[in-house]
Structure 1
Amino acid sequence: MRQLPPTERDFVRLGEMPDLGRWLEQIRTTGGCAEPVYLAGHTTMVDPDTGEVLRHYSTATEPGGRLAVRCRNRRASRCAPCSREHSGDTFHLVRSGLVGGKGVPETVRTHPRLFVTLTAPSFGPVHRAGDCHPARRRRCEHGGCQGCGRTHLEADPLVGQPLCSDCYEYPGHVLWNAMAPALWKAFRDNLYHHLAAGAGVGRSEVRTLVRVSAAKVAEYQKRGAVHFHAVIRLDGPDGPTTPPPPWAAEDLLLEAVRSAAAAVALPCPDSMASGGGRLGFGAQLDVHLLIKGGGGHISDDAVAAYVAKYTSKSVEAAGAVDRRIESLAEIQALRVSPHVRALITTAWRLGGLPELQHLRLRAWAHMLGYRGHCLTKTRAYSTTYGQLRAARVEHACGLYADWDDGTVAEGAWRFVGTGHTPAEALVAAGIAEDLATNREIVRAEQAGGRP
């Protein structure tokens, strides 16, 4: 008898499951998560006054005695369904800080608000989309061309690659990425100082009069350098519930952002490989004023959608990999461009230097040295991911939403596994695709068009 291939045998096993329907229901509940986490345990909801058991749930009756939950990975390259949910949460998190809602008063619309992009400096000329660097007869000291003269499309693999890899400052690039979170903090601190100087108040006094609330997302450029997109809002001393003082107006904030960004200058980590010097932001700084009602400027929803889009992306946008690297031999085997390989190799090499151990560059070599979170925000900017997830669970379990806050939950849970078998992965991918198609149909119908 011919033996079936492994995936077909797995489909047979899956089809013979007595509780296949319930397993499919679990996978639909996770949205077709590509890498679900399986848990085993139980939860009992008890009224503390009467001792009455209001609800009891156990995975003992579930398929395999376990329950599938989302992996919650934000990267679309890892799990598209969870990435989409994370992007949706980010949209509401950012939007509520712009227009109110989710516990933020609508009066924040009247506060001074900016959308700012902070970029990295140049580490050497790279090919760029559109008209590239003009062709020149002169060559660099390594014999490479100092110009290109061509017009590149956005998808051209040459975009972001150095004109001369020998001239490119790879150590400076990696160390800038590693220091980017510290540069952002220095910018925020500078912003208070420059607001104080512009308003004529003391540096220590300004923090008692105004609060800078912000949310920022990190994006990788094609060249592999991180840059930040940030929403910056001025509040009163108690946060979004209080208006900023009259002197804290849009013009002052605009000027303070520009001067604060230009003033950032942190010492480069002490190393022979770093070449010394100081680190700061690049000369390219985009600042957009957000005005209530639009007024021809970029809209609040567009800003929230723009920031949310980048939380689903990571270093793969620069052509790198989204997993940690364990050895130098693994770097040589990666299917990446020579530029990305050079950046990863540089991070690995610098990570072996004793004076740079605190940067943990080898652990973050796959991220080209960047160690920060994808999205960060100040405490008072808006809601949190945890609060958004809790609200979604309460909405999904609306039957129990009216229980008294004094209800006691008793339970015990343990991790029992993760991921799919080959057949399960194909079924989950089909479920995720069906859900995506249904969303597109609903969106088209709501827009009055055809799917």
Structure 2
Amino acid sequence: MAGAAASMGVDPVTLADLLRVANAPGFDRWQDQVRRTGGCAHPIRLMGQTVTRDAKTGDVLYSYSTEHEPGGMLRVACGNRRASRCPACAWTYAGDTYHLIRAGITGDIHKDVPATVRNHPRVFATLTAPSFGPVHNRPDSGRCRCGNSHAEDDPALGTALDAERYDYAGSVLFNNFAGDLWRRFTIYLRREIAARAGLTQSALREVCRVSFGKVAEFQKRGAVHFHAVVRLDGPTGPDTAPPAWATVALLDGAIRAAAGRVSVTVPASGDHSERVLRWGSQVDVQAIGALGHEELTEQAVASYVAKYATKAAETTGTVDRRIGELAELDKLPLPTHTRRLIEACWELDDAYPDRLLVRWAHMLGFRGHFSTKSRSYSTTLGALRQARADYRAGQERRERGLSEDLDDSEGSTLVLAHWTYAGQGHTPGESWLAASIARDIRLNRETAREALADLDDWEVAA
């Protein structure tokens, strides 16, 4: 292990700490704890104990204490969705998002979405930001307006061609009000659908419901845009069929029309004049194909949404933590374009104090949720997490020879627990080992998933 670390160019401090951890008493148990967190990069460390008693007899059914754990602590996953903060927890979050989105596209009886939802009109829509000034890009012609052909990894991509004329204030205000634009879009979308069906909005609710699951993505230029699966259901949701007039073509037209009508007015304040914010002219709507019969498959859409659910504004080179004061920017390796966007947040904060622009400066003004869904789209992330927790709890009970209904809701058991926060994160050596464990876990799961997919393909062929 130490030889492998040294061969990979691990710095001397990390290598020394790695050796300390590997030779410490309880190293196997430490590895077991880290595996149970999925290789979390910043686990929460807890100290305490829990006792489960029979509510009638008072007999102790199970007890646990961190007293004999490595370092006297229990490590639990941080649960951070950002891949830049914790790749392991973000991978789990992406998996949950994939199943949530896919259930709303293909149906899943385990998530209370019938398979008949595949017959409902479903599209994958993208709403973009308007232009705030020309930026370096890679057009189909291959040559940017600057006269050069940029490589895919060129750091100049997305940056302003003329920083002095670029509308940095407009960009961060658009990000800040993007959630308001989306909310108004959903309102206008229902109005457009009702108008095209020849119905009032109240009459529309009696026969059709609009469901969606969306995710935000930052473009290289620092402007946010939204990807969404939009579906038409019957009046009670995915378990009822939409009316015959509800077609993909109608939904396509309604989305484009609604996006074009939406606007949010930002009032004048201080030295800043009134602005009217709108979506960009590029609105993309694609039908989602069933069983791979269309170019945009169901699996591809779910994977695409899940991919961006774990990302934030890091694609622009910004930081993934809040900035306490503007002077911090001098200590950060920020691209000039990104720094100007952050500075614009600070400059606008006095004019629009209710928008919390300074608080969200590291997000270039965006303060909305990265992934949201309508109530009836499919299951919830909370339900998926609870199902995973219940499964693991069942495993624990079986390993200890305890009853499957140990923690039933009838009050047959009494759990007494006391936990104290003892810190978060790893030492340098622990971080290296945890990352290695996370990679192994992910590789094993991906290998198993590919094997199951091959088996499914073989069964279909047979």
- State the match for 2:5 in structure 1: none
**C-alpha separation in 2, matches of 1:439 and 1:190:** 43
Matched, 1:417 2:417: no
Q: Is the 8 A contact 2:268 2:275 kept in 1?
A: no
**C-alpha separation in 2, matches of 1:57 and 1:266:** 55
Q: Is the 8 A contact 2:143 2:149 kept in 1?
A: no
Q: Quick one: structure 1 residues 19 and 243, their matched pair in 2 at CA, closer, same or farther if it must change by over 3 Å?
A: same
- State the match for 1:123 in structure 2: 132
Equivalences for 1:31-430 in 2 at 5 Å? 31-46=38-53, 48=55, 53-101=60-108, 102-130=111-139, 147-351=145-349, 353=350, 355-399=351-395, 400=397, 402-403=404-405, 404-406=408-410, 408=413, 409-430=415-436
**C-alpha separation in 2, matches of 1:410 and 1:395:** 22
List per-residue Cα deviations over 1:357-394 (Å, max 9, x = no partner). Answer: 11100010010000011111111111111211121122
**C-alpha separation in 2, matches of 1:281 and 1:8:** 51
**C-alpha separation in 2, matches of 1:202 and 1:447:** 46
Equivalent pairs counted in the alignment come to: 432
**C-alpha separation in 2, matches of 1:56 and 1:155:** 54
Q: Quick one: structure 1 residues 90 and 162, their matched pair in 2 at CA, closer, same or farther if it must change by over 3 Å?
A: same
Q: Is the 8 A contact 1:59 1:65 kept in 2?
A: yes
Provide the identity percentage.
48
Q: Is the 8 A contact 1:40 1:65 kept in 2?
A: yes
Q: Quick one: structure 1 residues 107 and 58, their matched pair in 2 at CA, closer, same or farther if it must change by over 3 Å?
A: farther
Letter of the 2:417 partner, please give it. Answer: G
* Uncovered stretches (5+) of structure 2, i.e. residues with no partner: 1-11, 399-403, 455-462
Letter of the 1:43 partner, please give it. Answer: T
Deviation (angstroms), 1:96: 0.7
Letter of the 1:299 partner, please give it. Answer: T
**C-alpha separation in 1, matches of 2:139 and 2:272:** 32
Deviation (angstroms), 1:318: 1.7
**C-alpha separation in 2, matches of 1:226 and 1:276:** 21
List per-residue Cα deviations over 1:89-143 (Å, max 9, x = no partner). Answer: 11001101111112212121111111000000001111111457978xxxxxxxx
**C-alpha separation in 2, matches of 1:110 and 1:229:** 21
Matched, 1:438 2:441: no
More deviation in 403-412 or 363-372?
Answer: 403-412
* Uncovered stretches (5+) of structure 1, i.e. residues with no partner: 136-146
More deviation in 49-58 or 333-342?
Answer: 49-58
Q: Secondary structure at the match of 1:116?
A: strand
**C-alpha separation in 1, matches of 2:124 and 2:298:** 10
Q: Quick one: structure 1 residues 212 and 41, their matched pair in 2 at CA, closer, same or farther if it must change by over 3 Å?
A: farther
More deviation in 40-49 or 106-115?
Answer: 40-49
Q: Is the 8 A contact 1:235 1:242 kept in 2?
A: yes
Q: Is the 8 A contact 1:218 1:226 kept in 2?
A: yes
Q: Secondary structure at the match of 2:231?
A: strand
**C-alpha separation in 1, matches of 2:16 and 2:283:** 57
List per-residue Cα deviations over 1:11-46 (Å, max 9, x = no partner). Answer: 454345332221111011112211000122333445
Deviation (angstroms), 1:171: 0.7
List per-residue Cα deviations over 1:325-354 (Å, max 9, x = no partner). Answer: 111111233212111111011111111x1x
Q: Secondary structure at the match of 1:152?
A: coil
TM-score (norm 1): 0.89
Letter of the 1:123 partner, please give it. Answer: F
- State the match for 1:139 in structure 2: none
Deviation (angstroms), 1:9: 5.5
**C-alpha separation in 2, matches of 1:47 and 1:231:** 48
TM-score (norm 2): 0.87
Q: Is the 8 A contact 2:49 2:65 kept in 1?
A: yes
Q: Quick one: structure 1 residues 57 and 383, their matched pair in 2 at CA, closer, same or farther if it must change by over 3 Å?
A: farther
Q: Is the 8 A contact 1:118 1:229 kept in 2?
A: yes
Q: Is the 8 A contact 2:127 2:280 kept in 1?
A: yes
Deviation (angstroms), 1:61: 3.2
Q: Is the 8 A contact 2:18 2:433 kept in 1?
A: no
